[in-house]
A and B are shown apart, each in its own frame.
Chain A
C-alpha cells in the first residue's frame, strides 16, 4: 500500500493495485461520521460496440444497456440489494454516465459489512429473462420522466447536432424501443467484458482505519476468481466537421426560448495526464475570462436582456470526446448564439483575455477548488473518473498555478474553430404549454 501525503491540504491518500487488477484508493477523514465508497467501472452508455471477453468479433448492443445493467445489478435471487444496505444502516445508489458506471454507499455504521455487500453484489451478476422483462416497465417510466425535462432534452438536442452518428447523442437510459430488445444474455456479455476488476476502481473516503480496510478488501478479492485480464476493444463511429448538423431546433413546453452554441473538439489532445489536466484547466479559465460572471461582455449581454441567470457554459472532456456548450434561456435565441459565436471568434483580441484577469480568475478557481473539497462525494467522484493518469484532484492547486497566458492562447488556436460549431434552439410549444 502506497501512502502519499498532501501536507498543504492536510490530506493523506493510500493506494494499491491488487493482483486481479482492481485499483484501490483510501482517503481517511477522521473528523467525519460518514464513510463513502464508490465502486466504478470504466463503462458507460457510449460503449455499445466492442469485442466481448474471450471472443474475436465486434458486437453491437442496444442503446441504454449500461444503464439497464446498472439497474439490474441490484436485484438478486434472494431479493433486493437496497434492502441489505438499508438493514445495515447505509444508503446505496448507482449512476451511469457516458463513460462510467458507479455503485456507492454512504454510511455511519457497519462499514465493513456494507463494503462487503458492495463488492459482492457488483461482482455477482444475476439476470433472468423474467427479471429483465419486469425492469423494462420501470426504466420506461424513467425514460418518460427524462423526456418531460426540457433541460435534458435541450442537452441531448445539442449533442445530436455535434454527434449525429456517435452514441453520445443517445439518452443514457436509451429509448423505450431500444430497451425492449435487451435480453439477459446481452447483459451477461456486457457484464463479463466491462466488470472485470482490471477495468474497475474502488475509492473510499471518510471515517476508516486504512490498514484494516485494505486488508479486508484484499481478503474479499482473494476469495474470488476472475478470467485473466484482457485489453478491451471498443469501436465508435468516426465523424468529421462535415457531419455536424449546424442548426437544429425543437418545440417543447417551456415558458421561454433557449439558445445554445456547441463546439466539438476534433484535434488530438495532450497525451500525459498532467498536460491533459492543464488543457482542461486552461479551457475552463478561457471561458471564465471571456464570458464568465466577472467579464464585461457577460455584463453587457445581461444588461441588454439577452441572457439571464440561466446562462451557463461548460467544457466537457471525457474518454474519447470533448466539447463545450454555452447558452441559456433568452427571448432572442438566434441573436444569443450569433453573439457568442462572434465573441469566441474574436476572443484573441478581446481586452477580457488579459494577464491581470487571468491572475484574478486563477485566485477564484483556487478558492472554488478548495471549497469543493468539503464534499466527500465530490472528492470520490472526481478521483473515480480517473481521467488524468498520475495527476489527481489534489494536484489542482498546482495545475491552476501553472497556467499562463500562452496556455490560454494555445487553447484558443486548438479549439475555437468556426466550422466545429453548431447551434440549437428550443421554442415554446404554444399549443400545449
Chain B
C-alpha cells in the first residue's frame, strides 16, 4: 500500500509475517553521471560512518548494538541511466526479542538522525572523518580491480560504452575523481541530493502503514524540485567489434564479451530474451556451460547475463590464454545453434522451469521483494500477478527465441592475457 509522505516522497509498505526482521529502505535516485557516482559513493560512506549525534563509528556501532544488532547500510548502485543511493535499516521484529521494546520507533528515529543530521559543521563534513573515508574509498576502488573477474567485467563495460562517460563509469565511481572531492563540495552535494532526487521509502515486514507513516512524514523532507528521467539507457548498435587486450600477472586468462540486445525490462520480447539467455549461458544446463566448459574442457567458468536496463548481454569466461580463438569460435557456435533452432523440447522446458524457479525463489528474499516492488512502482507493466508472469514465460515459443538470438549483436571483446 502506498502513501504520499511529502511532495514527491512516497511510502510503500509491504506487510508480511514471513521474516524475523523488518526492513526499511530510503532510496534517492537521480540521473547517472561520472561525477555523481564518486560524490554519492563518498557521501554514502560518510552517512554510514557517523552523524552529528553519533560522531564516531564506534558511537554509531554502539547505537546499532543497542537496537539489537540492527543492520544499517548506505550503498550506491547504478541501474541503467539512474544512480541510486540507498539507506537500508534492518531490525529484528520485536516480537522475537526476550523483552518488550519499541524497536521500530527507535529505528525510524535513528534513520531520521543519520539522514538529516550528518556530521556537517560550517558547511563542511567533519574533516577527520572525511579524510579517512576518502582514502578508504580510493583503496576500496583499487581493490575491486584486484579481483580479476571484476576487473574483466569493468574493463568490458568501459569498452562497450566507450562513447558514454556516465555508462562506462562504475556505480561506485573512480579513484581519481574521489581524490579531488573536497569536504565543502560534498556537503553542498548532500543538500542538492536532498532537494532534487526522487525519493521512495519502502518498508517490509510485520507492520502496517499506520505504524510508520506518521513518524516518517515528520522527517524534515523540505521543498523539492524533482526531474523524473528515463531510467533506460539506449545505445545504438555499431557494425564493428571493439577489442581490448591487457596482459596481467595472472595464471587464468579472462575473456569477456558484450552484446547489444536492444531488449529492455518488460518489453515485448523480455521473456523471449530471458529464455534465450537461459538456453545460451544463464544456467548449468546452458550451451556455454555444457559445450564450452564441460564437453570441450575449455573454460573453468562460462556464463552469460542480461542487463535489461541497458539492452545488453555479457558473456564471461575464465580460460587458458592460448585458447582465446577457440573459445571465441565455440561461443559464437553456441549462439548460432540457438538461431538455427537446435534446442530440444526438453531443454526448452528445463529452461522455463529454471526461470520459474528463480522467479519464485526471489519472492523468498526480503531484499529481492523490496527491489521488485520498487520496480513495479516505476514500471507498472512489470506489476504482474504470479499467474500472469508465469503465463508470459510459458507462452514463449522457440521461434521468438530464435528471433531474439539472431538480433543479438557482438559489440565488444575484452581479453585479459595471463603471463604468470
User: Is A17 in contact with chain B by the CB < 8 A criterion?
Assistant: no
User: Is B389 in contact with chain A by the CB < 8 A criterion?
Assistant: no
A10 to B299, CA, bound (A): 46
Our pick among A31, A92, A367, A432 for the contact of B18 (Cβ within 8 Å) is: A31
Separation in Å of the B217 CB from the closest CB of chain A? Answer: 27
B66 neighbours in A (Cβ, 8 Å): 360, 363
Within 8 A of B (CB), among A366-387: 366-368, 370-371, 373-374, 376
Chain A residue nearest to B253 (CB atoms) is A144
A137 neighbours in B (Cβ, 8 Å): 297
A362 to B269, CA, bound (A): 52
B64 neighbours in A (Cβ, 8 Å): 364
A107 to B61, CA, bound (A): 37
A361 neighbours in B (Cβ, 8 Å): 65
Q: A150-B146, A329-B139 are in contact. Are A34 and B360 (CB under 8 A)?
A: yes
A367 to B16, CA, bound (A): 19
Our pick among B70, B249, B346 for the contact of A87 (Cβ within 8 Å) is: B346
A343 neighbours in B (Cβ, 8 Å): none
A433 neighbours in B (Cβ, 8 Å): 249
Within 8 A of B (CB), among A27-80: 31-34, 80
User: Is A228 in contact with chain B by the CB < 8 A criterion?
Assistant: no
B3 neighbours in A (Cβ, 8 Å): none
A393 to B407, CA, bound (A): 51
B69 neighbours in A (Cβ, 8 Å): 363-368, 371
User: Is B250 in contact with chain A by the CB < 8 A criterion?
Assistant: yes
Separation in Å of the B300 CB from the closest CB of chain A? Answer: 3
Q: Which of A190-198, A218-226, A290-298 contacts B (4 or more CB under 8 A)?
A: A290-298
User: Which of A32, A299, A305, A367 is most buried by chain B, counting CB atoms within 10 A of its CB?
Assistant: A367
Q: Is the CB of A305 within 8 A of B364?
A: no
A254 to B151, CA, bound (A): 13
A429 neighbours in B (Cβ, 8 Å): 249
Our pick among A10, A90, A255, A294 for the contact of B58 (Cβ within 8 Å) is: A294
The proximity string for A residues 1-43 relative to B, scoring 1 for CB distances below 8 Å and 0 otherwise, is 0000000111000000000000000000001111000000000
Separation in Å of the A147 CB from the closest CB of chain B? Answer: 6
A293 to B65, CA, bound (A): 10
Q: Is the CB of B96 within 8 A of A91?
A: no
Chain A residue nearest to B362 (CB atoms) is A33
User: Is A342 in contact with chain B by the CB < 8 A criterion?
Assistant: no
Q: A144-B252, A432-B249 are in contact. Are A367 and B350 (CB under 8 A)?
A: no
Q: Is the CB of A309 within 8 A of B136?
A: yes
User: Is B62 in contact with chain A by the CB < 8 A criterion?
Assistant: yes
The proximity string for A residues 155-199 relative to B, scoring 1 for CB distances below 8 Å and 0 otherwise, is 000000000000000000000000000000000000000000000
User: Is B15 in contact with chain A by the CB < 8 A criterion?
Assistant: no
User: Is A267 in contact with chain B by the CB < 8 A criterion?
Assistant: no
Q: Is the CB of A309 within 8 A of B140?
A: yes
The proximity string for B residues 357-385 relative to A, scoring 1 for CB distances below 8 Å and 0 otherwise, is 10011011010000000000000000000
Q: Is the CB of B318 within 8 A of A254?
A: no
Our pick among A91, A106, A305 for the contact of B132 (Cβ within 8 Å) is: A305
A10 to B17, CA, bound (A): 11
Within 8 A of A (CB), among B59-118: 61-62, 64-71, 90-92, 96-98
Our pick among B61, B147, B285, B299 for the contact of A149 (Cβ within 8 Å) is: B147
Separation in Å of the B393 CB from the closest CB of chain A? Answer: 12
Separation in Å of the B64 CB from the closest CB of chain A? Answer: 7
The proximity string for A residues 128-160 relative to B, scoring 1 for CB distances below 8 Å and 0 otherwise, is 000000100110011011011110000000000
A309 to B48, CA, bound (A): 12
Chain A residue nearest to B355 (CB atoms) is A89
The proximity string for B residues 232-273 relative to A, scoring 1 for CB distances below 8 Å and 0 otherwise, is 000000000000000011111000000000000000000000
Separation in Å of the A231 CB from the closest CB of chain B? Answer: 37
Q: Is the CB of A293 within 8 A of B350?
A: no
Q: A138-B293, A371-B90 are in contact. Are A109 and B251 (CB under 8 A)?
A: no
Separation in Å of the B103 CB from the closest CB of chain A? Answer: 9
A271 to B283, CA, bound (A): 45
User: Is A83 in contact with chain B by the CB < 8 A criterion?
Assistant: yes
Chain B residue nearest to A92 (CB atoms) is B284
Q: Is the CB of B353 within 8 A of A256?
A: no
User: Is A82 in contact with chain B by the CB < 8 A criterion?
Assistant: yes
User: Is A108 in contact with chain B by the CB < 8 A criterion?
Assistant: yes
User: Is B324 in contact with chain A by the CB < 8 A criterion?
Assistant: no
B136 neighbours in A (Cβ, 8 Å): 308-309
Q: Is the CB of A109 within 8 A of B353?
A: yes
Chain B residue nearest to A310 (CB atoms) is B143
A254 to B294, CA, bound (A): 32
A397 to B290, CA, bound (A): 45
A381 to B104, CA, bound (A): 30
User: Is B157 in contact with chain A by the CB < 8 A criterion?
Assistant: no
User: Is B303 in contact with chain A by the CB < 8 A criterion?
Assistant: no
User: Is A335 in contact with chain B by the CB < 8 A criterion?
Assistant: no
A376 to B65, CA, bound (A): 24
User: Is A253 in contact with chain B by the CB < 8 A criterion?
Assistant: yes
Q: Is the CB of B56 within 8 A of A370?
A: no
B148 neighbours in A (Cβ, 8 Å): 148
User: Is B188 in contact with chain A by the CB < 8 A criterion?
Assistant: no
The proximity string for B residues 276-291 relative to A, scoring 1 for CB distances below 8 Å and 0 otherwise, is 0000000111000010
User: Is A240 in contact with chain B by the CB < 8 A criterion?
Assistant: no
Additional 17 contacts, C-beta under 8 A, given A80-B294, A148-B251, A305-B132: A80-B290, A82-B284, A86-B283, A89-B356, A90-B357, A144-B300, A147-B251, A148-B148, A148-B252, A296-B58, A299-B57, A308-B136, A364-B64, A367-B68, A367-B70, A370-B97, A371-B92
* Interface residue ranges, B against A (CB under 8 Å): 16-21, 56-58, 61-62, 64-71, 90-92, 96-98, 128, 132, 135-136, 139-140, 142-143, 145-148, 248-252, 283-285, 290, 293-294, 297, 299-300, 318, 320, 346, 349-350, 353-354, 356-357, 360-361, 363-364, 366, 420
User: What are 13 inter-chain pairs, A to B, with CB distance below 8 A?
Assistant: A31-B16, A33-B364, A86-B350, A89-B354, A108-B357, A108-B360, A141-B318, A144-B252, A148-B250, A254-B146, A295-B58, A308-B135, A366-B69
